[in-house]
Chain A
């Protein structure tokens, strides 16, 4: 079974950008959309956007439109967040949908912690 492996923790200053990755270990993403979900410390889950690795088409929550970019090839997806603020401090997860065009998230990466601090 394909596992999602994310890159390591990042520390950034407010106003800067960060880019991190999620790789399908042992295979490819297949025909499944990969999504990014974040979780601020002690808080709930927030969907940011997703991408079809086959078609390369991304869709974003309006809240993040223009500030977030998701890219992907068949086995790696990256999330870039610009104009970072302190409230972007969170654990960022990649997650694969349970079936084609069924965005319930069956497989999750271990998370990438992003800390935004001056």
Chain B
């Protein structure tokens, strides 16, 4: 199974500041057929199901604010929130869909400093 490791486990960021979450996979998730990375990012708020933010490592899902962006390739990926808003307080997960079983990182909790 592909192991996904996120860092940090938690971070506190001031409102309006940048938040950066890292995600590392135990093997490359680059899909050679379309040269895209099989990596997604989710946001989960308390009492809610996860919400898809990003897929193909950098494609923003419809309706997701442009302050959320994904980058990286191969085994190392980053989710950036360019200007943290109060409503962004949540746990964020990355997920690989290159090779089943699809696996998730352990989550990163984002709070307001």
Contacts and interface: CB of A to CB of B under 8 A. Distances in A.
B55 A93 contact: no
Contact of A44 (B49, B56, B101, B106): B106
Interface of A: 35, 44-47, 59, 61-63, 93, 95, 98, 102-106, 108-111
B95 to A, nearest CB: 7
Please report whether the interface of chain B is mostly helix, strand, loop or mixed according to DSSP: loop
28 contacts: A44-B104, A44-B105, A44-B107, A45-B42, A45-B104, A45-B107, A46-B104, A47-B103, A47-B104, A59-B100, A61-B101, A95-B49, A98-B52, A98-B61, A102-B97, A103-B97, A103-B102, A104-B40, A104-B52, A104-B55, A105-B42, A105-B52, A105-B95, A106-B52, A106-B61, A108-B50, A108-B51, A111-B49
Please report whether the interface of chain A is mostly helix, strand, loop or mixed according to DSSP: strand
Contacts, number: 51
A105 to B, nearest CB: 6
B102 to A, nearest CB: 4
Interface of B: 40, 42, 49-52, 55-56, 61, 93, 95, 97, 100-107
A62 B101 contact: yes
A95 B44 CA distance: 14
Given A102-B55, A105-B52, A106-B52, A47 B101 contact: yes
